[in-house]
Amino acid sequence: MKLITQCPDCQHELKIKSLFIENRLDLAKENGKEFELRCPHCQGRFRVHVDDVVAENDLTVPIIGGISFIAAVFLTLYFLEMGFIAYATLALPVIAAGSARQNQRNRINQFNQLHYDSKRFRIR
Ligand SMILES: [Zn+2]
């Protein structure tokens, strides 16, 4: 999961540090409910409200899929002499990437659904 917002001047997408942040309340605790950012694209400074930050997919799922695919190939080769059962390891990347995707989707939904200030006018 990555957290992004948009520069109001040039629409450049800015990534926000999101380690250990699971929702907008965490983000507000860490940075304040409004915090200042500098756009690396147009150098403009602007203030962002935590409700204007959205969560999106990052590369976690493809990376987990790739690593577990390589692991599965090695495990299959290792167990190959045991016969057909060796091919069970080929399900590993499917299961690993599938559960990572599910987990990430849940975290993204949870972040995007919980607004810090629900009465505030919303642009998105
Ligand atoms: Zn900008």
In the reported structure, the alpha carbon of residue 2 is separated from the centroid of ligand 1 by a whole-number distance in angstroms of 19
In the reported structure, the alpha carbon of residue 99 is separated from the centroid of ligand 1 by a whole-number distance in angstroms of 36
In the reported structure, the alpha carbon of residue 72 is separated from the centroid of ligand 1 by a whole-number distance in angstroms of 44
In the reported structure, the alpha carbon of residue 11 is separated from the centroid of ligand 1 by a whole-number distance in angstroms of 6
Residue 12 · residue 41 · CB < 8 Å: yes
pLDDT tens digit sequence for 49-63: 999 999 999 999 999
CB atoms within 10 A of CB 69: 15
pLDDT at 123 > cutoff 90:
no
Q: Where are the domains of the chain?
A: 2-57, 60-106
State the average pLDDT for the chain.
91
Beta bridge partners, 13, equal 6
In the reported structure, the alpha carbon of residue 41 is separated from the centroid of ligand 1 by a whole-number distance in angstroms of 5
In the reported structure, the alpha carbon of residue 37 is separated from the centroid of ligand 1 by a whole-number distance in angstroms of 10
CB atoms within 10 A of CB 53: 24
Residue 1 · residue 18 · CB < 8 Å: yes
pLDDT at 85 > cutoff 90:
no
pLDDT at 27 > cutoff 70:
yes
In the reported structure, the alpha carbon of residue 47 is separated from the centroid of ligand 1 by a whole-number distance in angstroms of 12
Half-sphere exposure of 48 (CA within 13 A, CB side): 26
Global pTM value? 0.81
In the reported structure, the alpha carbon of residue 26 is separated from the centroid of ligand 1 by a whole-number distance in angstroms of 25
